[in-house]
Homo-oligomer: A and B are copies of this chain.
């Protein structure tokens, strides 16, 4: 491969590496695989990255950077009074918001695959970055939830826990899709999660807690 400007080439290597890491995982991916994919000599990679690990880290850091950009760009939401909204509006809005966030973070399916499959067992530096990505993503969602709480749209629950549950749920759905080699439709996932989390699963026929009849006390384990 002929000359290529430095930044361009680094980008190219990163993309090739992303592909290889997504397909094989960190350990099964050899430096040789990456270089072959990038169409470069094995030594060339080391002009742009300190070692294999740092290529991987660079990929993760790009994602982390996107997450941070998201955090930085976040403005306190301007929300209408709850009385003017219907539940389906909230779900739709929340779904769109979620989708935007997911799209920004999981840019492409390869990134998604890498993030979902390399949960750990790697180097400690790498685990930290993975943790920060998780953390940032959860925080972004939690902040929107908190804003919605202040606006009276969302119940007064622990926003961070709620956000963690949403992220975990989404990732699990995505992982299932990846496992069956279906393409992952982030928009659909976002919609699904938004709906579930908004509505709750208990049927209306169940009585409200405030209801008079105390009945027998639940909650003791069998």
Which residues of A are in contact with B by a Cβ distance under 8 Å?
Answer: 24-28, 78, 82-93, 95-96, 116-122, 127, 131, 134, 145, 152-155, 157-158, 161-162, 164-173, 175-176, 179, 187, 192-193, 196-209, 211, 215, 218-222
Closest residue on chain B to residue A207 by CB atoms: B86
> How many Å from the CB of A42 to the closest CB on chain B?
12
In the complex the two chains form, is B117's CB within 8 Å of A208's CB? no
In the complex the two chains form, is B219's CB within 8 Å of A82's CB? no
In the complex the two chains form, is A170's CB within 8 Å of B173's CB? no
With beta carbons under 8 angstroms apart, the residue of B27, B92, B161 that contacts A218 is: B92
In the complex the two chains form, is B121's CB within 8 Å of A208's CB? no
Q: A169-B165, A219-B91 are known contacts. Are A200 and B198 too (CB-CB below 8 A)?
A: yes
Task: Count chain B CB atoms within 10 A of each CB in A121, A155, A221 and give the residue with the most.
Answer: A121
With beta carbons under 8 angstroms apart, the residue of B83, B93, B179, B205 that contacts A219 is: B93
In the complex the two chains form, is A119's CB within 8 Å of B122's CB? no
In the complex the two chains form, is B121's CB within 8 Å of A219's CB? no
In the complex the two chains form, is A172's CB within 8 Å of B168's CB? yes
* Chain B hits for A145, CB < 8 A: 201
8 additional contacts, CB 8 Å, given A85-B206, A155-B201?
A: A28-B121, A89-B218, A134-B176, A154-B201, A157-B196, A161-B173, A165-B196, A168-B169
- Pull 26 A–B residue pairs with CB atoms less than 8 Å apart, ordered by A: A25-B120, A82-B207, A83-B205, A86-B206, A86-B208, A86-B209, A86-B211, A87-B206, A91-B202, A92-B218, A93-B221, A93-B222, A95-B219, A96-B219, A117-B119, A118-B120, A152-B203, A153-B203, A155-B200, A155-B203, A164-B173, A164-B176, A165-B173, A167-B172, A199-B200, A200-B201
Closest residue on chain B to residue A170 by CB atoms: B168
